[in-house]
Structure 1
Amino acid sequence: MSSRAEQLEPAVEQARQRSEDALAQLATQQQVLARAEHQLGELQRYRLEYAAAADGAQSVTALLNRQQFVERIDQAIVQQQAELARQHRQLTQLREHWRRAHARESALSSVVAQHREEERRAADRHEQAELDERMQYRRLR
């Protein structure tokens, strides 16, 4: 007959795997977020550089083209800011998912540890009882 701790091991292993998977997803999302932040910074830097590079002696057409291009960069910045906000929300959700998975793993591991300790104490009591019985048997002889 298997012990309660042994019976719970598959659940502990499954919880451990879920926690590890959630942690991997969290790490991946952090990388995605970092790339999105970098891309936003690049767009903002490019916009500043492009807007600052305006020549004073330009035709009206060139000025309008430049203005339209800056507006397109501004739109890209707004879109990237929205993407960054979405990535932050995703990171928050994945962090919470990992936290719950890790808490479940910890709880199950704790239960298994308690069962193992109870089993150890029961084995110690049983061994002590056998020793006591043998000692008493020897005394009676």
Structure 2
Amino acid sequence: MMQSRRIDPLLRRAQEHEDSVARDLAERQRSLALQESRLEELRGYAAEYANSQMAATSPAQLANRRAFLDRIDQALAQQLQNVDRSRSSVDIERDRLLLASRDKQVLEQLAASYRAQERQVVERRDQREMDDLGARRVRQAATAAAQESEEA
């Protein structure tokens, strides 16, 4: 059996794996973009609120404002962690895709090498058959010439 045919299922699986990892990476990148967008929205909101000139007329209002700013800071810190986790996840998927791509490339090179070897075997066989056919024709021509000379 030809070696290149045996490697084809492995090559198909490697391609499917690479495609799957690429889809996972795309999903992680979408998630990162969403997390970064949320972070920017929170930063904008925090800046807007911090820069607003709300007159705090009582200690209670001052305390409420301080508590609200603290909650915004906590939300920002949490969202920054979400972005970092998403970024890390994207990096991991990118590495997985690189490995899957390399694995597939090795199999593609191996399959190409097998196919080249198989082509050489076929070409040599075809050449031998052509040589044999040529030699037979030469023998037949020589035999026919010898018979003609005997008849003459």
What range describes the TM-score normalised by the shorter chain of this pair?
Answer: over 0.9
Equivalent residue runs for 1:79-118 within 5 Å: 79-118=78-117
Number of equivalences = 140
- CA RMSD after TM alignment: 1.0
Q: Deviations over 1:34-90 (max 9, x none)?
A: 000000000000001111113235322112111110110000100111111111111
Q: Is the 8 A contact 2:31 2:86 kept in 1?
A: yes
What CA distance in whole angstroms lies between the structure 2 residues aligned with 1:64 and 1:131? 99
Do the aligned partners of residues 57 and 104 (structure 1) sit closer, same or farther apart at CA in structure 2, a change above 3 Å counting? closer
For residue 27 of structure 1, what is the aligned residue in structure 2?
26
Equivalent residue runs for 1:1-141 within 5 Å: 2-56=1-55, 58-141=57-140
What CA distance in whole angstroms lies between the structure 1 residues aligned with 2:44 and 2:89? 26
Which shifted more, 40-49 or 53-62?
53-62
Q: Which runs of 4+ in 1 moved over 4 A?
A: none
Taking structure 2 as the reference length, the TM-score comes to: 0.89
What CA distance in whole angstroms lies between the structure 2 residues aligned with 1:134 and 1:57? 106
Q: 1:25 corresponds to which letter in structure 2?
A: D
* Runs (5+) with no aligned partner, structure 1: none
Taking structure 1 as the reference length, the TM-score comes to: 0.95
Identical aligned residues as a percent:
29
What CA distance in whole angstroms lies between the structure 2 residues aligned with 1:102 and 1:17? 11
What CA distance in whole angstroms lies between the structure 1 residues aligned with 2:126 and 2:57? 97
What CA distance in whole angstroms lies between the structure 2 residues aligned with 1:49 and 1:139? 98
